[in-house]
Structure 1
Amino acid sequence: MSKVVTQVSSVDKSTGLDIFHVPEAYLDKHPARPHLTGLDEYKKLYNESIRTPEKFWASTARDLLSWEEDFHTVHSGSFADGENAWFLGGRLNASFNCVDRHAISHPDKVAIIYEADDPGEDCCITYKQLLSEVSRVAHVLKGMGVTKGDNVAIYLPMIPEAVISILACTRIGAIHSLIFAGFSSNSIRDRVVDAESKVMITTDEARRGGKSIPTKRTVDEALRHCPSVNHCLVYRRTGGDVSWTEGRDQWWHEVVPKQPQYISPHSMESTDPLFLLYTSGSTGKPKGIVHSKGGYLLGAAVTGKYVFDIHPDDTFFCGGDVGWITRHTYAVYAPLLLGVTTVIFEGTPTYPSFSRYWEIINSHKVSQFYVAPTALRVLKRAGDVHCKVPMPSIRVLGSVGEPIGADLWKWLFNVVGKGNAHVIDTYWQTETGSHVIAPLGGVTPTKPGSACLPSFGIEPAIIDPVSGIELVGNDVEGVLAIKKPWPCMASTVWGDHKRFRDTYLNVYDTYYFTGDGARRDKDGYYWISGRVDDVVNVSGHRLSTAEIEAALIEHHNISEAAAVGVNDEITGQAVKAFISLKHKSDQSPEQIRRDLTSQVRERIGPFAAPKTIFVVEDLPKTRSGKIMRRILRKIASGEEDNLGDISTLAFPVGLVRKPKVHNCFCPPLIKKHSQLLYGNLTREAASEGARAAARATAQAQKAPSTFQPPCGTLDFDHTILSNPPRNFDLAKTPRGTLNFDFTMLPDVAKSPREKPLRTHLPEVSPRPAETISNLTNTPRLLTLPAEPCLRNPACETSTYDLAKAPAESRSDLTPPPSGRDQPNADRGPQWQSPPRRDSAFEDGLVALITAVQNLGMLALDTKDADVATERLLGIQDTVNRTLKFPRALPGRFPAAMAWQLIARRFTFRG
């Protein structure tokens, strides 16, 4: 009896992370043994693939693929020149490699198991039958005028006809372009027009989750704007009524069966395009990623063999839609290239019950199962009772599309795999074609949440995002890149090679830019942290925020839109959108949201609809006008207290809209979050002060009648600064608190009559220092005692200990969630006094004064050392928080030293 391993094999004592070794039961039920004997053999082969890549790939290509003509050159090109060609001179055919050679050697072996949406409608297709069907459809395509290099669009659900259509295209040298069956007519149109497809293959309706989906109707709407499409081949799936265009539309069942059962595969160059698959683009226009024949086929075969440990009698099940790269590579090409059986499942994991996946695995003796974490999260939430199906055949459980959390990983291992299967978390992209970082089934010890180790030929690099320099060694974190080309890498963007180079090869010179952040731990294992660009991953579907925003902007009353991705318990990420209106609308915000959601569903597809839409008055932008989605992402994720670097944020200046009391900015962007966007933003002041003053002068001269200089309170770390002025006036306020009155001095801004434009805060409260702005970010306010302990500025030993100040004179103040002119609530002291260090104080005070001077000249209206020192301390917390000042001033300090430093560096007004 096989031993069941239900617990982790070991724990890394230095990190506390679980390490899972290959279960003993995995080897007990293995048909032979894993392709590699262990991690040492992997390291040996991996090093060979990096040090002598041409030798490694030449041998592997000749072993796994059938070549009509052998190649004379393994690889040509580099990231520097933007070219990447593999196996030059070699000729082969993808259809022959996937079908013919297996139909010759094992004609009655099952190639495809079809599981329809409704249970009980399954069927099997042998390799001999598959060859016959592929040939017939290839004949039909040729009869429609399709030749080598032409593009055929395929809009089909997960049915065998999708696989047959793919292979029929490759058989005659055509380029297939699959379109996800959930896309809208507009998305179909955009892709078909860009690819200049000559033929569309679709179905009357699709079945999913017990429902019929009008596939043909969606295609008809798209093809009205696709002049290149002359023929539409329609497979009858449900028999539902559909509209018909004579001369263009043809029924599959009427034309395909009439064709001959064989057509010779067209000999193709290894570097010829195999297929075109559109992925999200940061500009909003989807990118048509092109994969070439030889390199892609080899990548699919080698990763299928080693990552999934595929053996001849295995049955492979990849859940999801064939319109995405995962099912291209691991539902179609990898299993068929290796001559095994692939399961094509039309339905959803929850219909008619939450055990549908597990029943398929059990009934068809599936050995490898590959699925996105989104589906697993849904099934886990449904309860373990649905996982009682035994599934003794399963050896490898794979995750794809996004990093899988440790808890979900362990659930997959313990509950689904019963502790007997090897769980592998894989990382790759549409552009990479196949796995680039992944464990090897039956070989690699795994860490839940980590993609583990690089695949053969992949040399990852962690890049510092600021300097662009590679971070060497382990225990580093940054942007994930790849150093050298590999066979399965995309060759270009369809019709726009410059875009390909700019997107992937020119971001960091001589590296491939993945767009993802990553960490390499002490063992060299990789942990993917997610996208660093404007792409959202929803249920494993990569969506461009620009594409979603373009759909939102189509609304007649939308001025601007920004879409961001946030973490979601079920879908991994969800889309949240922020929109501003052109004009005040009679519609309620709820109605606007419903209209916009419907618009996105129609323009792109239901899966792209934002989960939440915020109607706001303005959006945060850089000085160049680019929307700062990073800030919106923080807000949408509830991380308001950690907005990060906002040094490039352009502050709204009250030039046209009259500033409100204690609010120099435009009206709050989002009432709920109005105190977040511009509250803690004065880091920009240090480098921007002089330029801001010059801009303010120019703006004042252009529009003197509406010009309102910035003004506001600054209670220690209350920061209401728009483009900051050059001068701060400090005035005494009760109990030693500070009230900054920002004024534009005559040399900064003048009216046409040459009078200084000064704006002061109205006295709306008897204690202005306790009044807060609704735009400040959760400040921590220290109120100094009204009577300082320090009396003699000449005495170097006299000290003033802030830590011993009366408790009632200190308060940690937090602004209310909304509104203005409301007193803060006392939340207790927050001050800690470091040990006395005179040198530390002097160094800190010098840095503090320098930082304040960078904000603009600070003028003090007193020559009293105690008062001046007290006020400087009042500035401390603000500058620390605002300018990331490296250390706080000590609570105890020599008074004379402080006074001397202040006297040397500041101008005082009597």
Structure 2
Amino acid sequence: MNVDELNRLPVAWEPDPADFPGTPLGRMAARHGIATFEEVAARAAADPEWFWGAAADDVLRWLRPYDKVLDLSDGPQFPHFFKGGGLNWADYAVDRWVEEGRGDDEAVVWEGDDGSVRTVTYGELKEQIDRAAGAFAARGVGMGDVVALYLPMVPEAVVVVLAAAKIGAVVAPFFSGFGPTPVRERLLDSGARLMVTADGFERRGRLVPMKETFDEAAEDLPGLRNVLVLRRLGRDAPMTAGRDEWWDEALAAAEPVTETPVLDAETPCILLYSSGSTGRPKGCLHTHSGLPFKFAQEARHGYGLDSGDRLLWLTDMGWVMGVYTVTAALSNGATAVLYEGTADHPTPDRLWSLVERHRVTVLGVSPTLVRILAGLGDRWPDAHELPDLRAICSTGEPWNLEPWWWCFRHVGKGRLPIVNMSGGTECGASIVSGSVHRPIKPAGFSGPTLGMAADVFDPDGRSIRGAVGELVVRGPWPGITKGLWDGPERYLQTYWSRYPGNWQQGDFAYVDADGHWFLLGRSDDTIMLAGKRVGPAEIESLLVDDPEVIEAAAVGVPDELKGEALVCFVVLADGADPAEVLPRLEASVVAREGKATRPKAVHAVPALPKTRNGKVLRRVARAVYIGADPGDVTALESPEPLASLPRQANTA
């Protein structure tokens, strides 16, 4: 979408102001004498410390009161929130609900690829967490030690995350689809003392042999002394004597940790790896009062997640949204609905039937996932009324208009808000977001997330509106990473060097005259055509407007004459004739954007390189096309698309 199109977008959904007092944010506001969302937003912008203190007291259970909301003695790059405060993620996510008499309420509902279902109550979850914490401690895991998690999206993954947190250890989740090399890289980088993995799981009905993959990754690996193996499938998986034990046997023999220790608010609890464009991935370290709190807070105040809600996000525990699902649901006393399989297996309506069957109230998707499901036809979501669903959430990448409207009309039935969020693993938060308390425009964000001092800068660091610029944050927030695992230099260079004192997110942003925000893609994905900056999402939106195009990726490649030229990759619908469609797409780009943007090539490909949560990796497609090093590709769901990508002719 270009700026002119953004300026013409209508409001697609509006809230009823009468609903605000009954929402979690409305109840918090009332305790502070505030009656409307606009008043909350204005006070949060004017006095962020007030907001973070009020939000923390609304979401968390403090085991020791904090002395000060914010200390900037080490600069905005390293803020200290809630100094002196004591708490524990396991306590405010699980223990407190059991103590309040909600032990029989559903904490986790899980469905496997094969259709099997399990339910875990808060009481059962607490018992499993306590036993796992005891098993970890018995194997020498203590404060600051790293517990690696390499599991499918199963209830035991929740147990591992919170059991590690309970005893002050740090959990490092790995993507369940990783091969041996990325698993080994992360084990070495994290220095994990203990690993929890599984005998395997099924995806699309096919075996994923996790234990064998792990064994190859961990061969002759120093430091990793203990491995607990979950019997997910009951396979006869290989076990290494003296190192490997079965998860169920280890927990049965463990002495439970029933007393939850009070930990300093800044105690690290999770190490999340974010894929870099080159070199090794970035390890982002987060604390008990950081990312887990911030995710729970923005879910509570952004789309009203409350006790009684049921949250499903189609993701993996190795991605940030896996952790988001756990802490957003449990820290608000809601139910986390976990799904191990894919959205369209064994039938194209698997996701919609899952949402209906488990009475999901909040569904999290990615724009790419919606594009894929839209390509399967309207009849699949139309066959499901989804009566319990009240909000659809989205993150991962910018939307194109056509799939956004498809989701709004066919999934949301024209009545539900699509709450976009954009942030990242490093910032441990969303920076801009939609809200059930504010009007929503297609593919847009209602504004900065509450408490986030988001802005748009021009190249000289001036705040701008009505023009495309860099998304930045002008003040600190809970959730920001405590630097990177390999030290502060890379962290400071990546996020703080271009606009000193301001966080640079790496996204292009635009704010329209009505105050609605739009993201136009990664700034490092920008294509310079004839001296004009063009965001790939702008070209891709045009391409997917064609009824025979399911997905598209646009990249800039070196060109001797122009400096940079446009190359497009498209996934076509079944039965589409490339000889007919590709010239039509080229002509459409020229007609809309001008002759200077004529693509150097438009290629039909069977699939685009993507992460499992649906993010298209344009830099990887570009690198393969020009014959360059694609950098870190461990986030890919499958390497198969790389083999089918075309190569530029006459590449040296």
Shorter-chain TM range is: 0.7 to 0.9
Asked whether the 8 Å contact 2:431–2:473 carries over to 1, the reply is no
Cα pair distance change 1:476/1:43, threshold 3 Å: farther
1:579 to 1:103, Cα distance in 2 relative to 1, 3 A: closer
Contact 1:315/1:366, CA 8 A, preserved across alignment:
yes
Amino acid at match of 2:333: G
Identity %: 30
Residue 291 in structure 1 maps to residue 286 in structure 2? yes
**Matching of residue 342 in structure 1 with residue 336 in structure 2:** yes
Q: Report whether the alignment pairs 1:576 with 2:576.
A: no
- Which stretch shows the higher mean deviation, 159-168 or 15-24? 15-24
Q: Give CA deviations for 1:831-850 in whole Å, capped at 9, x if unaligned.
A: xxxxxxxxxxxxxxxxxxxx
Residue of structure 2 equivalent to 1:516: 507
Is the contact made by 2:133 and 2:257 (CA closer than 8 Å) also made in structure 1? no
Give 1:207-246 correspondences, 5 Å limit.
Answer: 207-246=202-241
Among 1, 8, 14, the residue aligned to 1:16: 8
Distance 1:433 1:403 in 2: 19
Equivalent residues of 2:362, 2:389 under 8 A apart:
yes
Instruction: Report matched runs for 1:479-494 at 5 Å.
Output: 479-494=470-485
CA distance in 1, matches of 2:635, 2:461: 40
Q: Secondary structure at the match of 1:153?
A: strand
Q: In structure 1, what is the equivalent of residue 48 of structure 2?
A: 53
**Partner of residue 373, structure 2:** 379
SS in 2 for 1:290: strand
From 359, 363, 388, the equivalent of 1:365 is 359
User: Alpha-carbon deviations, 1:652-682, whole Å to 9, x = none?
Assistant: xxxxxxxxxxxxxxxx548xxxxxxxxxxxx
Change (3 A) 1:123 1:291: same
Identify the residue that residue 539 of structure 2 maps to in structure 1: none
Residue 580 of structure 1: how far off its partner (Å): 10
Is residue 2:462 matched to residue 1:470?
Answer: yes
- Contact 1:184/1:601, CA 8 A, preserved across alignment: no
1:35, CA displacement in angstroms? 3.8
Q: Quick one: distance in 2 between partners of 1:347 and 1:290?
A: 28
Give the superposition deviation at 1:475: 0.6
Match of 2:105 among 85, 103, 109: 109
Partner residue of 2:60 out of 62, 65, 71: 65
Question: Structure 2 vs 1, CA of residues 615 and 356 (structure 1 numbering), >3 Å: closer, same or farther?
Answer: closer
**2:518 is the alignment partner of 1:527:** yes
Residues 31 and 204 (structure 1), Cα distance of their counterparts in 2 relative to 1, 3 Å cut = farther
Note the C-alpha offset of 1:34: 6.9
1:499 paired with 2:490, answer: yes
State whether residues 366 and 615 of structure 2, in contact with CA within 8 Å, keep that contact through their aligned partners in structure 1: no
**Distance in 2 separating the partners of 1:420 and 1:516:** 30
**Structure-2 separation of matches of 1:504 and 1:43:** 30
Contact 2:278 2:632 in 1 (8 A): no
Distance 1:370 1:600, change over 3 A: closer
Compute the displacement of 1:43 (Å). 2.8
The answer on whether the counterparts of 1:135 and 1:262 sit within 8 Å (CA) in structure 2 is yes
| 1:15 CA drift (Å) | 3.7
1:118 aligns with 2:110: no
CA distance in 1, matches of 2:403, 2:567: 21
Equivalent residue in structure 1 for 2:642, among 610, 615, 631: 610
Does the CA contact (< 8 Å) of 1:185 and 1:602 recur in 2?
A: no
Rounded to whole Å, the distance in 2 between the matches of 1:184 and 1:353 is 27
Contact 1:566–1:576, Cα closer than 8 Å, also in 2: no
| Contact 1:49 1:456 (C-alpha < 8 Å) held by counterparts | yes
Residue pair 1:461, 1:480 contacting (<8 A) in 2 also: yes
Cα shift readout 1:552-607 (whole Å, capped 9, x = no counterpart)? xxxxxxxxxxxx996766756353255699xxxxxxxxxx99xx99x998997625
The two structures, once aligned, show a CA RMSD in angstroms of 3.3
| SS in structure 2 at match of 1:71 | coil
Q: CA deviation at 1:50?
A: 2.4
1:114–1:122 Cα contact (<8 Å) kept: yes
Cα shift at 1:613: 4.8
Report the Cα offset of residue 118 of structure 1: 1.3
**Counterpart amino acid of 1:514?**
Q
Asked if the contact 1:188/1:219 (under 8 Å) is kept, the reply is yes
Tell me how far apart the structure 2 counterparts of residues 14 and 62 of structure 1 sit (CA, whole Å).
38
Kept after mapping to 2: 8 A contact 1:184/1:603: no
8 Å Cα contact 1:94/1:293 also seen in 2: yes
Distance 1:47 1:275, change over 3 A: same
Structure 2 counterparts to residues 422-821 of structure 1, below 5 A:
422-441=417-436, 443-465=437-459, 468-472=460-464, 474-533=465-524, 573=616, 574=618, 575-578=620-623, 606=638, 610=642, 612-613=644-645, 615=647, 668-669=650-651
Q: Computing the radius of gyration over CA atoms, which structure comes out larger, 1 or 2? A: 1
Tell me the amino acid that sits aligned with residue 440 of structure 2.
T
Against the structure 1 CA distance between its residues 14 and 206, is the aligned structure 2 distance closer, same or farther, given a 3 Å change threshold? closer
SS in 2 for 1:461: strand
TM-score of the two chains, using structure 1 as the length reference = 0.58
Does residue 92 of structure 2 align to residue 97 of structure 1? yes
CA apart distance, 1:164:
0.7
CA distance in 2, matches of 1:149, 1:493: 15
Number of the residue aligned with 1:847: none
The correspondence of residues 392-407 of structure 1 with structure 2, limited to 5 A, is: 392-407=387-402
CA change 1:429–1:145 in 2 (3 A) is same
Q: Is the 8 A contact 2:138 2:254 kept in 1?
A: no
Native 8 Å contact 1:95 1:170 kept in 2: yes
Question: In the TM superposition, what is the alpha-carbon distance from 1:13 to its structure 2 partner?
Answer: 12
* Secondary structure at 1:99 match in 2: helix
User: Following the alignment from structure 2 to structure 1, what is the Cα–Cα distance between the partners of residues 633 and 507?
Assistant: 27
- Deviation, 1:609, is 5.2
> How far off is 1:240 after superposition?
2.2
Q: Would you say 1:322 and 2:317 are equivalent positions? A: yes
Q: Residue 33 and residue 601 in structure 1: after superposition, are their counterparts in 2 closer, same or farther (change >3 A)?
A: closer
Distance 1:281 1:602 in 2: 10
Q: Displacement, 1:361?
A: 1.4
Counterpart position of 1:150:
145
Alpha-carbon distance in structure 2 between the residues aligned to 1:463 and 1:425: 21
User: What amino acid maps onto 2:193 in structure 1?
Assistant: K
Residue equivalent to 1:718? none
Where 2:642 maps in the other structure, the secondary structure is: coil
**Matched residue, 2:258:** 263
In structure 2, the residue matched to 1:88 is 83
Counterparts of 2:46 and 2:22, CA distance in 1: 30
Question: Normalising to structure 2: TM-score of the pair?
Answer: 0.80
Partner residue of 2:248?
A: 253
Deviates more, 1:87-96 or 1:453-462: 453-462
**Structure 1 residues 823-862: aligned runs within 5 Å:** none
- Cα distance in structure 2, aligned partners of 1:394 and 1:193: 42
Q: Residue 376 of structure 1 aligns to a residue in which SS? A: helix
Task: Tell me what 2:541 maps to.
Answer: none
What secondary structure does 1:86 align onto?
strand
Amino acid at match of 1:500: Y
Task: Give the unaligned 5+ runs of structure 2.
Answer: 528-534, 537-565, 572-607, 609-613
Deviation (angstroms), 1:311: 2.3
The correspondence of residues 824-903 of structure 1 with structure 2, limited to 5 A, is none
Deviation for aligned residue 1:431: 1.4
For 2:284 and 2:52, the matched residues in 1 are separated by 23
Q: Is residue 125 of structure 2 the alignment partner of residue 130 of structure 1?
A: yes
Larger deviation, residues 248-257 vs 570-579: 570-579
TM superposition shift of 1:199: 0.6
Task: Report the 3-state secondary structure (helix = DSSP H, G, I; strand = E; otherwise coil) of the residue aligned with 2:409.
Answer: helix
Q: Secondary structure at the match of 2:448?
A: coil
Structure 2 partner of 1:182: 177
Instruction: Give the unaligned 5+ runs of structure 1.
Output: 1-11, 539-563, 582-591, 618-667, 671-910
Describe the SS at the equivalent of 1:484.
Answer: coil
Q: State the Cα distance separating 1:33 from its structure 2 match.
A: 5.1
Query: Aligned-pair distance for 1:397?
Result: 0.7
SS in 1 for 2:284: strand
Q: Which residue of 2 aligns with 1:353?
A: 347
Q: Which residue of 2 aligns with 1:586?
A: none
Which residue type is aligned with residue 460 of structure 1? A
Residue aligned with 1:257, SS: helix
